[in-house]
Amino acid sequence: KVFGQDGVFFTPIMMAVMSILMVIIYFFLSPFFIKMLYSGEWIDDTYREDISQTSRLDARLKDYGLTPAEIEVCKLLLDGYTLRQISGILSKSYSTINTYCTSIYRKLNINSRVELLLMLQEYKS
């Protein structure tokens, strides 16, 4: 008689089997509980990161005094579109887009698209 209560006896083998079963159950259930406990934070962090990339670029361009139309053109320039492509995408004339581009360069104190890309590369998503 190793352990008993009310006439129920446990042998060392039964105790070992129960211990192993408890360890197996723990290993199967612990990832579930950890995921359930922390999944909300992971989702929040992912969402926060996606939002911050766009808002950081917008905030930076607004700091330079760009208008909403200039910000839109600037984002398309950062994505690699030409002025002609941008005029087609935005349904505006080429000369209007060229004026926006000139204004962007003047406000950012740059002279080329390469300088624009170098200046804002950390904000580009």
Q: Tell me the CB-side half-sphere exposure of residue 59, using CA atoms within 13 A.
A: 7
Q: Give the architecture (CATH level 2) of 64-125.
A: Orthogonal Bundle (1.10)
Mean pLDDT of 23-47: 66
Tokens of 33: 């509980």
What letters, b where the CB count within 10 A reaches 16 and e where it falls short, cover 59-90?
eebeeeebeeebbbbbbbbbeebebeebbeeb
Residue boundaries of the structural domains of the chain? 1-51, 64-125
- Report if pTM > 0.85: no
Q: Is the dihedral of CA 111, 117, 122, 125 positive or negative?
A: positive
Euclidean distance between CA atoms 86 and 96, whole angstroms: 10
pLDDT band at 15 (very low <50, low <70, confident <90, very high): confident
Euclidean distance between CA atoms 93 and 101, whole angstroms: 13
pLDDT digits (tens, 9 = 90+) for 49-102: 555 556 788 888 999 999 999 999 999 999 999 999 999 999 999 999 999 999
The residue ranking higher by pLDDT, 58 or 45, is 58
